[in-house]
Chain A
Amino acid sequence: MYREEQLKKLLQVKFGYPEFREGQQEAIEAALNGDHTLVMLPTGTGKSICYQLSGYCLEGKVLVISPLLSLMQDQVEQMKQKGEKRVVALNSLLSNEEKKYLLDHLSIYKFIYLSPEMLQQEKVMRALKKQNIALFVVDEAHCISQWGMDFRLDYLHLGWARKQLGSPLTMALTATATKRVRKEILSSLDLEKEPFQEIVYSVDRPNIVLDVIHCDQNKDEQVLEKVAFLEPPGIIYFSSKAAADEMAEKINQQTSFYAESYHSDIDSADKIKIQQQFIRDDIDIICATSAFGMGINKNNIRYVLHYHLPASPEDYLQEIGRAGRDGKKSIAVLFYESGDYAIQKYFQDESLPTRKMIDWAYRKQNMQLLDANEIQKRMAAYFVDQHIDQQTAYQTVMERKRIKEEQLSYMIQYSETKDCKRAFLLHYFGERAMETTENCCSSCSIDWTDFEKTMKTKEKKAKEVTKNWQKSFNALFLFSYF
């Protein structure tokens, strides 16, 4: 058994941190004790260290199931940056030849990141069964739950896959799960009957001040006014790509800050550039859809604004949780307008198949011709492929719809409540707020001077781009002659 000093030494050597953050050591010790764990730590508190460090202490491979491709890639790159070369990602971006190569060479890797759909492939399971799996990790485990914000059909197979792999030691991690979601994670993974520990910390991030601004047909002006006032870097979240593009343009034209938009239409090479420019503070503000931020390793984000209403309290906490990872005061502002509900409701409706679509899917068994979007088709196909009876399929969709409506409705109430915003959000997760502090939320009090841009920022001039290619090129290669 590893002693505390040994774990700390490993933390320093592998990750460069002298001390554990709250919950990390507890999670690692539980895993090393052979207990399955459900770890809930607030956003930005280093959940990945829990399984990565545990992995270093255990003999065998660490299998990490991760729901988002971009997140997976970020995590793989971050591990490589810290010197871990035995890390690989198995996902749908690979060609068949590449996948075959990796499956043939699995034995050389210590950390194997997988997208959940990979576990449904026979070849993948066959290759994994030959490995000694020391730790089975389910990242963003709330995706398992129907009641979670990002319910993923592929995650429903994880319990089965885990059994197929001989029920290895398991660690499920999340930052935002209600009691009900946590219960469902445990039962889906079949952890309840085995010795397990729940390591649950508050979802609250006290250094993030919560503000809601009510708008009346003047959201753009309000957002621009705040952007001009606040100290960057910051992220502004949107539900629509076009709105993100427009706001980035307005910020560039009307303020002294430099903004870029980031969403699924941006070419993947440009996405990496934008991320890196943001990390280096070359970009002040990112106007993004939810595609941005999950794996971003940037500690000094000072604010997160929401132009559109988030779909659920879980979404909101995840997104604002990207601010203030350095522990310094940061602010989250939600710009709310009465019509916002309808926009979000539209997106919700678009994410579930209608009764008519389900009928069609069961009757024709051919999703290609189904008049629906890709998400709706995927869900309908899932019901048909899994031979789920049609009535259960309707009920599942209706239930999901109800849950989504409840979550959205909670966000409306959050926006409108005159009570403490923090207490209201925490109540959703079954938590009580600590005593109201100064700089808590817009219902309590906010000291705006904490967030105002500094003199240095005010004087910041637009970045000059040299017209002389030789100068930039020589700098890249330390040349003196081109």
Chain B
Amino acid sequence: MKTLSYLDYFILSLLKDLPIKATSLFYILKGKRTASMLYKALETQLTPVFGLFPSLEKQQYDQAVQQYLLKNYVAYASSEKEDLILTQEGKEAVEAYFKTHYKPTALEHLKKGKLLMNFQKKSLFLIQVFSELRYHNRTYIPIERDYFLQLWVKQWLQKQNIERQELALAFGEEWGQLLDQLAMDSAQQIVLTMTGHTQVGQTRNQLAYQSKKESMEIELQILDSYYVFLLNIDKRPATFPLLYSIIQEEQSLYPYGLGKSVQLTKNYLEKGYALDEIASRRNLKNSTVSEHIIELAIICEQEQFLNNIPTSIYEKLNKILEKEKDLSFAQVKESFSELPFLWYRLVQIERLKKHV
């Protein structure tokens, strides 16, 4: 039997808490952004890893699941052979594995994945720019070829009202403080990925080779460290004013990393438009706008969406679901013939969020 990889153990660790269909888990990891998959992620508490592996291949994943079954690390939760759960043997294997391997703890990929990627790109590029500036070197090959990112750096630098050398020092100091809060090993990995006057950043494979780890472990270790950075910057904005400003700007431009169309629906909702008005103005089907609202309710704060549900229905729905939380829409509809799916889903989302 094939030895399991870091990715295998990581996937197994996700099955620890709640049963889930193998296909659903696959699409959550790939980041299939449909309302039903987002709901599934919320339901199974897997929003932190939503879209974490966009290039995961179905065939490779299916083979891996077969391996987990063969090793008796996972089993079907019922005779219908749909939902998978981690077996006791699987739990022990996962626990033993992560005693000697890095286990991410701060991931928040659905809500902050896009923000994190952009923050990482921008700050790594600024590190190069400032490092070269510290050495008074103006001719170097930038690590970022994206014209608009280069333009952003130029504009960002112009906005800062500090002398450039001082700014470089301040930026470096903020980074130094962030790194100081990480474990030695994680800080080392992050610094080695940086490119500046004195070094070219290492690739994931190079880091893996040197530390005798799998490159996936390195990748998740680095990603997780960046999530820790986001948390720390958010907690102490006064300590990290430059990095905080980058995050703030990113958040205002792309709140919650929403897609363009969902973002537009959000704008209309904020202006007070109703679902069908939005659909007709945007030439979309009502069901599409419904999906957008579900996505928004899962990712953002959702009070505003619940406000459209008449109080009596809202309360009745809650009562029914309180008694039996897993009632399907069809079952609930037996008591509410005119109940729109959107309302049912929004109440479910609210209940799940409260529960989590």
Chain A interface residues toward B at CB < 8 A: 73, 76-77, 81, 88-89, 93-94, 98, 101-102, 252, 260, 266-267, 269-270, 272-274, 276-277, 279-280, 282, 465, 467-469, 472-473, 475-479, 482
B201 and A273 contacting across the interface, CB-CB below 8 Å: yes
List the A side residues contacting B184 at CB < 8 Å.
469
How far is B188's CA from A50's CA once the two chains are assembled, in angstroms? 46
**Chain B nearest CB: distance from A71 CB in Å?**
12
B196 and A76 contacting across the interface, CB-CB below 8 Å: no
Judge whether B194 is part of the interface by a CB distance below 8 angstroms.
yes
B177-218 interface code vs A (CB 8 A; 1 in, 0 out): 001100010011011101111111111111001100000000
Q: List 7 A-B contacts (CB under 8 A).
A: A77-B145, A93-B146, A260-B206, A469-B187, A472-B192, A477-B169, A482-B179
Chain B interface residues toward A at CB < 8 A: 127, 130-131, 134-135, 139-143, 145-148, 168-169, 172-173, 175-176, 179-180, 184, 187-188, 190-192, 194-206, 209-210
**Chain B nearest CB: distance from A277 CB in Å?**
5
B145 and A270 contacting across the interface, CB-CB below 8 Å: no
Chain A residue nearest in CB terms to B128 = A476
Known: A77-B145, A476-B198. 12 other contacts (CB 8 A): A76-B145, A81-B139, A81-B141, A274-B203, A276-B143, A279-B141, A469-B179, A472-B191, A475-B199, A476-B127, A476-B134, A477-B168
- Which of A77, A101, A266 has the most chain B CB within a 10 Å cutoff? A77
How far is B137's CA from A478's CA once the two chains are assembled, in angstroms? 13
Given known pairs A81-B139, A88-B147, A89-B147, the reply for A482 and B180 (CB within 8 Å) is yes
How far is B130's CA from A476's CA once the two chains are assembled, in angstroms? 9
List the B side residues contacting A267 at CB < 8 Å.
203-204
Given known pairs A81-B140, A465-B210, the reply for A280 and B131 (CB within 8 Å) is no
List the B side residues contacting A468 at CB < 8 Å.
188
The 8 Å CB contact of B200, one of A94, A101, A266, A282, is A282
A270 and B203 contacting across the interface, CB-CB below 8 Å: yes
Main secondary structure of the interface of A (DSSP, over half): helix
Chain B residue nearest in CB terms to A248 = B205
How far is B336's CA from A150's CA once the two chains are assembled, in angstroms? 65
Q: Please give me the 3 A-B residue pairs with the lowest Cβ-Cβ distance, nearest first.
A: A477-B172, A476-B196, A270-B203
A273 and B203 contacting across the interface, CB-CB below 8 Å: yes
How far is B179's CA from A482's CA once the two chains are assembled, in angstroms? 9
B143 and A269 contacting across the interface, CB-CB below 8 Å: yes
List the A side residues contacting B197 at CB < 8 Å.
476
How far is B194's CA from A468's CA once the two chains are assembled, in angstroms? 14
Chain A residue nearest in CB terms to B154 = A85
List the A side residues contacting B141 at CB < 8 Å.
77, 81, 276, 279
Chain B residue nearest in CB terms to A83 = B139
**Chain A nearest CB: distance from B84 CB in Å?**
29
B131 and A476 contacting across the interface, CB-CB below 8 Å: yes
How far is B197's CA from A482's CA once the two chains are assembled, in angstroms? 18
List the B side residues contacting A73 at CB < 8 Å.
145
List the B side residues contacting A88 at CB < 8 Å.
147
Chain A residue nearest in CB terms to B197 = A476
A273 and B147 contacting across the interface, CB-CB below 8 Å: no
A478 and B134 contacting across the interface, CB-CB below 8 Å: yes
**Chain A nearest CB: distance from B103 CB in Å?**
21
Given known pairs A81-B141, A270-B205, A273-B203, the reply for A479 and B147 (CB within 8 Å) is no
- Which of A260, A476, A482 has the most chain B CB within a 10 Å cutoff? A476
B135 and A276 contacting across the interface, CB-CB below 8 Å: no
List the A side residues contacting B205 at CB < 8 Å.
260, 270
Given known pairs A473-B179, A477-B131, the reply for A272 and B199 (CB within 8 Å) is no
Chain B residue nearest in CB terms to A74 = B145
How far is B130's CA from A270's CA once the two chains are assembled, in angstroms? 21
**Chain B nearest CB: distance from A16 CB in Å?**
10
**Chain A nearest CB: distance from B39 CB in Å?**
29
List the B side residues contacting A81 at CB < 8 Å.
139-141
